[in-house]
């Protein structure tokens, strides 16, 4: 250590002391990093609780509605569907509708009309549908009132029956909601009229 040779003894001792403190801090920092900071409490997992009409219905892990056309044929928030709508008229709408009413329905408002999701949820309930919650969908712009479903499940039958009964579209879930709670997800927009209104 020739660079310390020309310094006075107290300055050299202070230099060694600082180097020692730095080494101790390095050891403590390394141990903390290796242990993951065990003195800190882990964040609680995101809850799956439902809160009717609070505006925080969909989990924060869901991403906004896609900006580019989704590959599954769902309607893009920026324009018309990239493929023909996934909705198909059931052969016997009354029978399908009655058989599918047990499937949970979650209703979200994506309009400029305050309370539209609650009004739509009341319409669905009065028609016998199993409405689990209602609230707001602030993650993008959905151009038309749509009942979203997971393909190949009971949700598909329920969404198509609900859409036929209330004059909406029925489409597969898009990327932002594909992992949300089970059931039909209805996102209502300014075009929602309710049953029997065209």
- The CATH number covering residue 183 comes to 3.30.70.2390
- Residues 60 and 97 grouped into a single domain: yes
- Residues 11 and 64 grouped into a single domain: no
pLDDT tens for the chain, 198 residues long, are 555 566 677 777 777 777 887 777 777 776 666 665 444 444 433 333 333 443 434 543 333 443 333 334 443 343 333 333 344 444 455 555 677 899 999 999 999 999 999 999 999 999 999 999 999 999 999 999 999 999 999 999 999 999 999 999 999 999 999 899 999 999 999 999 987 554
Residue 32 has a pLDDT of: 66
Residue 121 domain flag? yes
SS (H, E, C) 146-188: EEEECCCCHHHHHHHHHHHHHCCEEEECCCCCCCCCCCEEEEE
Residue 2 domain flag? no
- Residues 14 and 63 grouped into a single domain: no
Residue 26 domain flag? yes
Residue 12 domain flag? yes
Helix residue ranges, H only, the chain:
9-35, 93-100, 116-126, 154-166
Which pTM value belongs to this model?
A: 0.54
Residue 23 has a pLDDT of: 79
- Residues 194 and 98 grouped into a single domain: yes
In the chain, how many domains are there?
2
Do 189 and 145 touch, CB atoms closer than 8 A?
A: yes
- Residues 183 and 90 grouped into a single domain: yes
Residue 129 domain flag? yes
- Residues 93 and 149 grouped into a single domain: yes
Report which of 175, 143, 153, 142 is spatially closest to residue 61, judged by C-alpha positions.
Answer: 175
Label residues 184-196 b or e (16+ Cβ within 10 Å = b).
bbbbbbeebeeee
Residue 41 has a pLDDT of: 42
- State the residue range of the domain holding 136: 53-198
């Amino acid at each position: 250590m020739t660079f310390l040779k020309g310094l006075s003894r107290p300055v050299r001792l202070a230099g060694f002391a600082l180097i020692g403190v730095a080494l101790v801090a390095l050891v403590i920092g390394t141990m903390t990093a290796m242990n993951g900071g065990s003195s800190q409490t882990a964040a609680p997992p995101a809850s799956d609780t439902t809160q009717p009409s609070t505006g925080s219905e969909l989990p924060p892990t869901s991403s906004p509605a896609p900006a580019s056309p989704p590959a599954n044929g769902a309607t893009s928030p920026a324009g018309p569907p990239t493929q023909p709508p996934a909705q198909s008229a059931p052969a016997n709408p009354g029978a399908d509708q009655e058989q599918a009413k047990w499937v949970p329905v979650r209703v979200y408002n994506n309009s400029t009309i305050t309370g539209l999701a609650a009004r739509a949820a009341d319409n669905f309930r009065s028609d016998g549908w199993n409405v689990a919650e209602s609230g707001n969908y602030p993650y993008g712009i959905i151009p038309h009132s749509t009942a979203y479903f997971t393909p190949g499940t009971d949700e598909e039958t329920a969404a198509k029956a609900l859409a036929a009964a209330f004059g909406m579209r029925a489409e597969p879930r898009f990327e932002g909601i594909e992992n949300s709670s089970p059931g039909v997800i209805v996102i209502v927009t300014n075009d929602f009229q309710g049953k029997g209104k065209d």
